[in-house]
Each structure stands twice: as C-alpha cells, then as structure tokens.
Amino acid sequence: MTRAISLHDVSKTYTRGIRVVNRLSLDIGPGEFLVLLGPSGCGKSTVLRMIAGLEEITEGDLRLDGEYANDLLPAERRMAMVFQNFALYPNMTSRGNIGFPLRIEAPNEDPRARVDATARMLGIEDLLDRYPGQLSGGERQRVAMGRAISRHPSAFLMDEPLSNLDAKLRNHLRAEIAGLTRELGVTTVYVTHDQAEAMSLGDRVAVLRGGVLQQVGTPRSVYALPRNVFVAAFIGTPRINLLRGLVRAPLDGAMTISLGKQYLRLPEPLSLDHQLLRVQQGREVIVGLRSEAIRIAKRTSARPGEMPITGLVEHVEFQGHEVLVHFNTGSRPALVPDLEAPRPALRPTRRRRRDGTVLERLRDRAGSLRAGPVVVLEDPPDSGPEPTPSDPRLPGDLVVRTTPDLDLRRGMQVPLLVDISHLFVFDQHGERICPSPDHLPDLGE
C-alpha cells in the first residue's frame, strides 16, 4: 500500500540556532515520484530524514495519509530508505543483506521466497551468494535497492543513491529506478543535486535553496517558468545566460532592453508580458536567455519575433552531437555568486521601512525569502576592476547551442538572432517578472 506524505510549515533547527530547513510545506500524492533538488547543504537530505523519522522535526507537522506522524518511530512509518553509500553489511551475502529487514520484521517466517522474487525483479540472482566486497558499485546499489523493495514499503526514500557511480552506470540505473518505481507504484521521494536526474525521473521537482522551498512543479514547468533567478540558473544545461539589462520604454518609440553595447528591441505590437515591463522603465533588470533561444543566422533570416545582435567568438566547446559557443556581446553578466554555496548569505539587518503600502512590504519580504540575495547587480567595492568578457576566467557572456557542422573559430564576428518569445526578465531581487505566471512558453516551437 502506497501513501500520501504532507509537510506543513516544517522547520529543522540544530544547536546554536542554525536553521537548515525553514517552514517547508509540501504535499506528495500516493504513488508520486517527487525529487528534492538543490545544491549541497540546502537541506534536502534533512527533509528526507525527517520524513523517515531519523531526524526530529523542530516545528511543523508531518502527516502520513492525513494522520499526524511527528512522533511515530521510524519502524512504524513503513518506509524504506536507499542511502548514498549503499550501507550494506560487509559480513553478509547479498541474500543476507536483502533478507535482513524481513527477518527483523517477522523472525518466524522464511524470507527466501521474497528475496528470490526481489532478485529476479532486479536481475541479480547470480549475486545472491556474494559478499559486498566482491561486488561492483552498480551491483552493490542494486542489492541496496533490493533490500528496500523486499519489504514492500509504503514509500521509498532515496538519498542520492547514484552519486557514487560513474556516469554511464548512473544513466543505466536511473532508467531502472524509473521503471521499478512505476511498476511498483510506490510513493518515492528522491534527493539529488543533479538536475539531469531530477528532470528525467520526477513527476514533480521541488527546488530548495538555503532550506527554503523555491519552486515545485513538473520538470517542464520548472524549466519553462522558473520562479526566480536561482531556479533558472540551477536547472538547465548549459546554464542559462543571465545578463544585466536596462529597460527603456519611451512613449514615442519602441521599447528596448539595453545590454551594454547592444540592445534587444521588443517586437511590436507589444505582448501583454512586454507591456507590463513599462513599469521597469529606467530600472536595471536581469535578462535570462537559454542557449536554445539564440541561433546563429543573418538578420535577413530572422523569423517573426527574432531580434538581431552580434557576437565575437571567445571559446568553442565540442560536445559531439552539438557545439556550445561562448560569445562576447559586450554585455555584463549578472553574477549569482552563491549558486553553489550551501546556504545563501544573510541580508544585513535593516530598519523597518515606513514608506510603501503593506502589500508592497509583504511582496518585498516574500521575494527576499524565496530568492534571497541571489543576484549581485552592484559592483562590489574594493574588488578591483570587473572581469571583462574577454577575461580567460570568464569566456564570453553568452553561450549558444548549435550544430557541429558550423566552422567557428575564436575571434570571428558572428550574427545572432534572439527569439524574444523565450526571453526571461527578472527584477533586482531575482524574481521573474516576464513572462507572467499564467503564461507557459511553447517549447515545441
């Protein structure tokens, strides 16, 4: 029997007041495969351990099938956990490791039939008489998964189970995990920092940063409509291009977004999303462009909604089936310095604002809670000259995905076309302001 898992304003605080999970609310439906995604130290493993009962919940409620479960012992929750380090007993064979929890639950029953059935499901019948030291990493992980499956649990909790394996084996086992959980129909919570795993496995993805839930949704919706700069930058390969821009919206001319030496002209008539950008007139914003939103082509080849810019080739990455080209367009990247940091830096304490409406103050507070100080738009003092796009530490400011048949070399001036329909605009707090929340770009175009 599978089960629903609900977290309501759950927080975890350790000694000295260190809060690693902050008011997390999340509903996981019966049979759903939910992935907790985020950088190292963001609190995702702590959330998993609180669900399992291995960590005590400081604040908030955990409900299993609608019933309060904070005080249930781990054994009473009927969940099975798969760990990153396999956690196999070295003095037991694979058969012993798989059957051990069955012997604990029912000492008077013979577990061999269930162990054999589990081994057939995983294709490890020939490994049952081997010890962990005689197995490869992939074989150990299959045995660890077998130990979890044999219990017929109500939920699987997987804590980065593939991170210790090589890339080829990870891809293979990823497909196996997806097939097994779909076949068994068991609620699964999967923790990873690998966004490729999250996007390929999850029915939904919950993105965490600094212990705060940033966004939850289907892989497609999270990729297509990131709520803030952190989600946009964390999900997607290669990483989204984030450029500092300035909105110019004259009453008697076309609306543009200046990118430094070049600008993007918004096509007329303005869409509703672009009309709403008028309130950003004269303000600095963050422009987000995924690599597939830009193509190498002349101005005369522009389709409706595409705007021309030019770029100087700085670096070419050959990937086999595709090429990633780094261009210098004269733009200034928007820095996300703590994207890979365990926790976001804390904002300095400020006096309460007396100006502005209550709604504006609440909106500012909500924005800082979700995104925190993700983006740095101000030039840091005493940091020396800002690195230029030609700096070898920063190869270009724009990455474009293209086909390997193009012969591109460093120093070439290349015409580019930007698809404005796939343009993201974020405010100075990192919150998305374009496209609007009720609009989903057509990824099939």
Same domain, residue pair 279 and 133:
no
Tokens of 223: 């990729």
Decide: 439 and 356 in contact? Cβ < 8 Å: no
Same domain, residue pair 188 and 238:
no
CA distance 38 to 233: 11
H/E element, 209: strand 204-209
Per-residue pLDDT of the chain (445 residues; tens, 9 = 90+): 578 999 999 999 998 888 999 999 999 999 999 999 999 889 999 999 999 999 999 999 999 999 999 999 998 999 999 988 888 999 999 999 999 989 988 888 899 999 999 999 888 999 999 999 999 988 898 899 899 989 889 999 999 988 877 878 888 888 888 888 888 899 999 999 999 899 999 999 999 999 999 999 999 999 999 999 999 999 998 999 999 999 998 888 889 999 988 999 999 888 888 888 888 888 899 999 999 999 999 999 999 999 999 999 999 999 888 999 999 999 999 876 555 443 444 444 344 444 455 555 554 444 444 445 555 555 544 444 444 443 334 578 999 999 999 889 999 999 999 999 999 999 988 899 998 755 444 544 4
DSSP string, 294-346: EEE--GGGPPTTEEEEEEEEEEEEE-SS-EEEEEE-S--BPB-TTTTSSSPPP
Adjacent-strand bridge partners of 137? none
Domain harbouring 125, CATH code: 3.40.50.300
Q: What pTM was computed for the model? A: 0.83
Same domain, residue pair 12 and 90:
yes
Rounded to the nearest angstrom, the gap between the alpha carbon of residue 414 and the centroid of all alpha carbons in its chain is 32
CA distance 307 to 327: 16
Same domain, residue pair 146 and 248:
no
Q: What is the dihedral of CA 79, 19, 159, 129, to 10 degrees?
A: -70
Does 440 reside within a domain? no
Same domain, residue pair 237 and 111:
no
According to DSSP, the β-strands at 79-82 and 294-296 are unpaired
The answer for residues whose C-beta is within 8 angstroms of residue 170's C-beta and 6 or more apart is 162, 197
Whether the upstream peptide bond of residue 437 has omega within 30° of 0, thus cis, is no
* Of the residues 158, 191, 224, the one at which a domain ends: 224
DSSP three-state, residue 230: helix
Does 234 reside within a domain? yes
Domain that holds residue 39: 5-224
- Number of structural domains the chain divides into: 2
Among residues 206, 272, 207, 211, which one has the least CA distance to residue 233? 207
- Taking each helix axis from N to C end, the angle separating 137-149 and 94-105, rounded to the nearest 10 degrees, works out to 20
The answer for residues whose C-beta is within 8 angstroms of residue 366's C-beta and 6 or more apart is none
DSSP three-state, residue 320: coil
Region of 213 (left: φ > 0; alpha: ψ -120 to 50; beta: rest) is beta
Same domain, residue pair 243 and 302:
yes
